[in-house]
Structures are given as structure tokens and as C-alpha cells.
Structure 1
Amino acid sequence: MAAEVGGDSGAPKKGKKAGKARKPKKRPRIDMTPMVDLGFLLLTFFVLTTTMSTPNTMPVVVPPKITEKDEVEPPKIAEGKVITLLVGRGKVYYYTGIENPEMHSTDFSPKTGIRKVLLDRRREVKERYGKEDEMIVIIKMLEEAFYKDFVDILDEMAIIQQKKYALVDITPEEKELVEEYRNKMK
């Protein structure tokens, strides 16, 4: 006789009766319904979160460059309505008015930073001119400023709902004013 691989040796097993026919074992049935539900739940979650987190852009309307032949007279603005922001790397230098400006500095912190300065200035303008939306903010970027600083200052304009602001090139006189202020604060 040939030997069987994996079969019985023919000897009766302990605790079992010899010669009894065994029923073939049924494999357990796996219900895949919860897995399909979980798959659809994950798919729905990721589709919704990606559509909700689409990047938002803030519209910035920039007028065309004026050439020398156009000779457009700039609008007359009351000096008391204006605050000029000189945005540097993580720091904002600001002054009010045009004649003999007194330079100050702050940062982007929510409680004591540029937002508080702008809200205080808006309150002063409202007391003086009667309307809250009379304040005009002039934003000038220093060469050292990062793009993040530019986005942060525009975010502050959106947060305080400032409607009147202008993005203007910085003048050499203002650069000197910032340097003088920095030297004075050392």
C-alpha cells in the first residue's frame, strides 16, 4: 500500500469514534456590506472636504499705470482721514497725515497689532468726520517684506471691512523715515 500524504494513519483517534463520516466544514460567510458602507462614507467625506476647502481669492482692483502724457490730477483727500502703512517683514510702520508724520510701529498680533491701530484710527475719523467709512488706508510695501506680509495686511483690511485702501509704491523719503525710526528705536 502507498502512504497517504495528509490522510489518516488508519488508527483510531483519541476521543473520537472510528469510522464516523465527517461533514465538510463550511467556510464562514463574510458580509461585505459594512465595508462598502465605510468605503462610501470615506469617499463622501473626502469629496466634501476637498470641495469645501477650495482656495478663496480676494479681488484686488489695480488701476492702469498713468503715463506722463495723461497728467491726471490726484484726488484731494483730507489729511485727517489718511493712515499710511509701511509693511515690512513681520512689522508694520505707520503714520497719520502728510505734513511732519510721526512714525510708529506694530506687528500683526490680533489684540495689540495693526488691527487695533486701524480700529482706533477709524473711531477717531468717525468722531471727526461723522462717518465710519471715511478712513483711507494707504499701503506701501518695503523691499524686505515677504509675500506673507502682503497677504496678512490684505487680510486685516478684509477682517475690519475696510473699503477704502490703496496699494502705492513707497517713496525714498518714506524709506528714510523708516530707517530714522529704526535707528531711533535701537
Structure 2
Amino acid sequence: MAEINAPATGSNKPGARRSKKLSTRVDLTPMVDLGFLLITFFIFTTTMSSPKVMKLAMPKDTDDGDLTPIGQSTALTVIPLDANRIFYYHGDLESALKENTYGVTSYSVTDGLGQIIRTKQAALDKTKAGKHEDLMVMIKPTPESNYQNVVNVLDEMLINDVKHYAVLDVTPQEKDVANTKSTSAL
């Protein structure tokens, strides 16, 4: 509790009215209670709104610097481009260009990236039941793509229950082919 004492003042003239000044007392207990309530509220809300971390497993590099080998039939490479376009190819780039197993798609629900992944999973299941879990998707964003494009591709991995995927650097050859084929597809 806090008290403020002010002395009573008045004039000493005869016949003058004297006003009686009382001491003022201010109780700060409610203000302290309010302060502690606000501190408790802010601590509680900051712990409740902590950011969530997305689990991302990257393939382990081998000693000679090459990545872990992947079967060509289970590989799908996705290259997000600008303007919400995606260049994709199955297996190796050279054989995909020879066999025409590449294309340009979007994030559309009906015929976009999700449909490409589901088609690849179905094709793997035709060879052997449960083989769709061996699908390995390599995500190689270009500098022209934005962060939202990469997040959309990662969302498709989660939606389509892709167990194995990695975010890798795009090679200059892949970037050139992706830009060439995507502009000719327009």
C-alpha cells in the first residue's frame, strides 16, 4: 500500500474560511495484481503459439560425394518453376527425354502434381503390391520458383503419402531442359 500525505494549508486571516485538507491514500494492490495477470497471460500465449517444425529427412551422402543410388523405375524428379508450373520426369533425365516420360504440370487438384504422383504409385503397384512405398521423389526447385511452390510440393508429398522424398539442388542441365520444355508446352 502507498500513502501520500499532504499537510493541511490555509490562510491565517481572521474570518477566512479554512478548507480542511485530508491526506490522500492510494492503494496500489489492484495494480500489482493486474500486472501479474498480464505477465501470466503473455507467457501463456507465447508458449501456446510456438511454431511447428516440419520433419524433413534428407538422404545421406556417401563418402565419394554422390547421393544414395535410386532405382530408375521408382524415381520421380519434380522441378518447381516460376508461374506455378512444374517440370517433372520419371527416372533418369536422358532416358526420360528419349522415352518421352516427362511433362509440365501445375498444382491443380484434378490433373496437377498430385495426379502425377498417384499415377506413378499405381504403376509401381502393378509391378508388385505395396511397391508404391518405394517411390522416391526428388524436389529440385529453381531460383525462379518461390518458397510457396516448394511448400506446395511438400504438401503433395504429405497428401499422397510419399514416404521418401528429398530437396536437392537443380543441375544446370536440368534447369535448361526444364525451361526449354516448359516454354514449348505453353
TM over 0.5: yes
Unaligned runs of 5+ in 2: 1-8
Alpha-carbon offset, residue 130 of structure 1 = 1.7
Show the 5 A alignment for 1:1-186. Answer: 7-8=10-11, 10-11=14-15, 22=20, 24-32=22-30, 33-49=32-48, 52-53=50-51, 58-64=56-62, 66=64, 74=69, 76-78=71-73, 81-89=74-82, 90-96=84-90, 98=96, 99-107=99-107, 113-131=112-130, 132-146=132-146, 149-166=149-166, 167=168, 169-170=170-171, 172=173, 175-176=176-177, 178-185=179-186
Alpha-carbon offset, residue 23 of structure 1 = 7.5
Task: Output the aligned Cα RMSD.
Answer: 4.1
CA–CA separation in structure 1 for the residues paired with 2:43 and 2:70: 54
Query: How many equivalent residue pairs?
Result: 167
CA–CA separation in structure 2 for the residues paired with 1:47 and 1:181: 45
Q: TM-score, normalised by structure 1?
A: 0.60
Residue 112 to residue 38, structure 1, CA distance change in 2 (3 Å): farther
Residue 75 to residue 57, structure 1, CA distance change in 2 (3 Å): closer
In 2, are the aligned partners of 1:138 and 1:168 still within 8 Å (CA)?
no
Larger radius of gyration: 1
Unaligned runs of 5+ in 1: 1-5
Supply the AA of the counterpart residue of 1:53: P
Alpha-carbon offset, residue 133 of structure 1 = 0.8
